[in-house]
Structure 1
Amino acid sequence: MKRHTALFHSVILSMFLAPAAANAADVASSPWGPDDEIGRLNMMTADSRKAALENLSPAKTYDLSVEYFIGMPSWQAAGDPHFQMWMTHTPKGTEVDDPLSVGEEMNAHVSYTGSAFSMYAHTGTHNDALNHFGLNGKIWNHFSADQHLGDRGWNKTGIEKMPPIIARGVLLDIPAAKGLKELEPGYRITREDLKLALSVQGIDIALGDVVLIRTGRMRHYQEADRFMENAPGLGMSAARFLADEKQALSVGADNLSFEAFPSEDDGNYVPVHTYLLAQQGVTIMELVNLEELAEDGVYEFAFIGAPLKIRGGDAAPLRPVAIPYEGSK
């Protein structure tokens, strides 16, 4: 089993400084100071990135993103827009309209195609920024909406502030560990489920890892209604295990909601999101395609990914890549 014993050695002490929150209903103050806007991503250092990229086996790399297409699964519970794409220019249309005033002969010779698209920020494989969910009008590190949210997005913790993530990645294939192809609808993943997967796979989570959770729901990605209906996801005990006990850098899953619904907290309809984002400074990745990694039994890898730099954004599309380690399983 590939282990990076030196990984993140320069930041271990700082990571045991727990985010300071007055109580469970408050957002946290960052242990990296009052100006911090990236939370746990501060754990990455030159040494940690170097360690994560050692002893790679790049004969096969894994694209962990999904395709974007009209009719794809998307979050509709709050009335957000579907993914839409339309042609702005086509070869024949350009001949008819001559939008650049270059003439019929030139338009017939040079075939021009252009398009545009629109979508909710949390569509497809994407990263949630720390401003996505907060508590009592404030987000991570006590930045308030009243002071920092304008008509053009947040001026604190926007997705453009996130650095590229380069770290050791770990896949936890929960259904495989339980002898299943996929988790049943609505299943709430527990701390015990995560520990079972670690045991079955013969690996562990190191301080500062990116942890990706497979539910098996991605098997139905081409069927939007089936994919979206009552998906399995994480529960609070699993979230606490990853963020508090294991000190994960960032977390992700192959579903669109990350956590399971309905909420297990009567006072909070998204307790996992608010705990990770607002109280632990842990960014969340959703709709991560883990099927090929799981099929090949690749559980440890270098994770490389960066969201689009949308200024003030609460999320952005992500194109993550996994590169296995020599001898990893």
Structure 2
Amino acid sequence: MRMPDELSEADFRSLYRRLRATAPGGGTPRGALDTITREQVLAAVREVRSGRTVSLAAPVNTRPGPDDADPAEHRLTAPADAEPAARGLEFARDRFAMNIHGDVDSHLDALCHVIYDGTLHGGAPAAGALSPAGASALSVDLARDGIVGRGVLLDVPRLHGVPWLEPGTSVTAEDLAAAEAMQEVRVGRGDIVLVRVGHRRRREELGPWDVADARAGLHPTAMEFLAEREAAVLGSDGNSDTAPSPVEGVAFPVHVLAVHGMGLHLLDYLRFEDLAPICAREGRWTFLCVIAPLRLPAATGSPVNPLAIL
């Protein structure tokens, strides 16, 4: 792969303004979710042929590592000392706590997640919308009824004949178009676009690493592809951003462009290692995709277990 050029902050801001002005979700409160119509949901249902369901989430991580200093916490709270009585009724109970926006666990980013130049998506002042109690606008509650539509998996490592892209590699718009052509599929309006970079497979085979320093993701200019096709949601087995950032002075340019500029909900740190072989074997890369975030009315995101239904 040829590494794409780095962008100056001025060039990035020019790209941001262009995408915000032209992307279908660039100014509406629900963002790009408005591109998914009832007719498109019904069409996506017709993608189901075998009835097979595949989880696109990774198992929740509870062990600290170089990419997860604050892992999820899960513990049994009853029975005491995990010792049930010999007679009578008891209930096993447990407690779960999670940093939603970590670098391992699968989650959905709400439109209030990204603050850029003091504002949220659509230009709302962040100071008036965020408080210790949570977000009063653009929270994950926008997706409380679920996100249901046609999922499209673009497998970029498969395009290049490798198991994964090495950390630091940026996926270009040309890569996405080439993956489309090889897989004989075309991304369209309202699609849930899932881009595999192989992050999860690399972690499973080689072990965790500090992803803040190096990870594969999309080059900011690849967002022009998604804007042109009018995608509804973007997901990846990484977090869609390359590290180190290819943009001077902007650490997460794809997050800024997608969430803040284009109104795209992001799915971060998914797992495609069960789905991708099925798609390759069956020669079909589209499916019904169902995403059901938790009902967290003031939250900036949610853990999520997206399902591909083939």
Using the size of structure 1 for normalisation, the TM-score is 0.79
C-alpha distance in structure 1 between counterparts of 2:65 and 2:308, whole Å: 23
Q: Report the equivalent of 2:10.
A: none
Question: Per-residue deviation at 1:135?
Answer: 1.3
4+ long deviations beyond 6 Å: 29-34
Q: Is 1:194 aligned to 2:176, yes or no?
A: yes
The code of the aligned residue for 1:166 comes to: V
Q: Report the equivalent of 1:100.
A: none
Could you tell me whether the CA contact under 8 Å between 2:26 and 2:263 is conserved in 1?
Answer: no
Question: Per-residue deviation at 1:33?
Answer: 10
Could you tell me whether the CA contact under 8 Å between 2:25 and 2:262 is conserved in 1?
Answer: no
Structure 2 residue corresponding to 1:240, chosen from 220, 224, 227: 224
Q: Report the equivalent of 1:270.
A: 252
Could you tell me whether the CA contact under 8 Å between 1:91 and 1:111 is conserved in 2?
Answer: no
Question: Per-residue deviation at 1:87?
Answer: 2.1
Could you tell me whether the CA contact under 8 Å between 1:43 and 1:208 is conserved in 2?
Answer: yes
Could you tell me whether the CA contact under 8 Å between 1:132 and 1:314 is conserved in 2?
Answer: yes
Query: Alpha-carbon deviations, 1:265-302, whole Å to 9, x = none?
Result: 11311111001111110111011211122112241111
Q: 1:28 to 1:172 in 2, by over 3 A?
A: closer
SS at match of 2:274: helix
Question: Per-residue deviation at 1:50?
Answer: 1.0
The code of the aligned residue for 1:193 comes to: D
Q: Report the equivalent of 2:233.
A: 250
Query: Alpha-carbon deviations, 1:3-31, whole Å to 9, x = none?
Result: xxxxxxxxxxxxxxxxxxx9656795897
C-alpha distance in structure 2 between counterparts of 1:174 and 1:196, whole Å: 9
C-alpha distance in structure 2 between counterparts of 1:183 and 1:92, whole Å: 45
Q: Which one scores higher on RCO, CA 8 angstroms, separation ≥ 6?
A: 2
Question: Per-residue deviation at 1:226?
Answer: 3.6
C-alpha distance in structure 1 between counterparts of 2:166 and 2:51, whole Å: 34
Question: Per-residue deviation at 1:85?
Answer: 1.5
Q: Report the equivalent of 1:12.
A: none
**Which runs of 5 or more residues in structure 2 are unaligned?**
1-12
Q: Is 1:83 aligned to 2:72, yes or no?
A: yes
SS at match of 1:225: coil
Q: 1:28 to 1:43 in 2, by over 3 A?
A: same
Q: Is 1:167 aligned to 2:149, yes or no?
A: yes
Q: Report the equivalent of 1:129.
A: 110
Question: Per-residue deviation at 1:74?
Answer: 8.3
Structure 1 residue corresponding to 2:41, chosen from 31, 43, 49: 49
Q: Is 1:67 aligned to 2:59, yes or no?
A: yes
Aligned-residue CA RMSD (Å): 2.7
The code of the aligned residue for 2:76 comes to: M
Q: 1:112 to 1:32 in 2, by over 3 A?
A: closer
C-alpha distance in structure 2 between counterparts of 1:274 and 1:197, whole Å: 24
Could you tell me whether the CA contact under 8 Å between 2:76 and 2:82 is conserved in 1?
Answer: no
Could you tell me whether the CA contact under 8 Å between 1:91 and 1:113 is conserved in 2?
Answer: no
Paired residues in the alignment total 287
C-alpha distance in structure 2 between counterparts of 1:292 and 1:173, whole Å: 13
C-alpha distance in structure 2 between counterparts of 1:189 and 1:135, whole Å: 23
* Mapping of residues 1-329 of structure 1, within 5 Å: 28=20, 36-71=28-63, 76=68, 81-90=70-79, 108-123=87-102, 124-162=105-143, 163-222=145-204, 225-226=208-209, 228=211, 230-242=214-226, 244-255=227-238, 257-296=239-278, 297=280, 298-324=284-310
Could you tell me whether the CA contact under 8 Å between 1:125 and 1:319 is conserved in 2?
Answer: yes
Q: Report the equivalent of 2:9.
A: none
Using the size of structure 2 for normalisation, the TM-score is 0.83
C-alpha distance in structure 2 between counterparts of 1:66 and 1:213, whole Å: 15
Q: 1:289 to 1:148 in 2, by over 3 A?
A: same
Q: 1:74 to 1:245 in 2, by over 3 A?
A: farther
Q: 1:190 to 1:25 in 2, by over 3 A?
A: closer
C-alpha distance in structure 2 between counterparts of 1:56 and 1:117, whole Å: 33
Question: Per-residue deviation at 1:238?
Answer: 1.4
Query: Alpha-carbon deviations, 1:118-137, whole Å to 9, x = none?
Result: 12112421110011112111
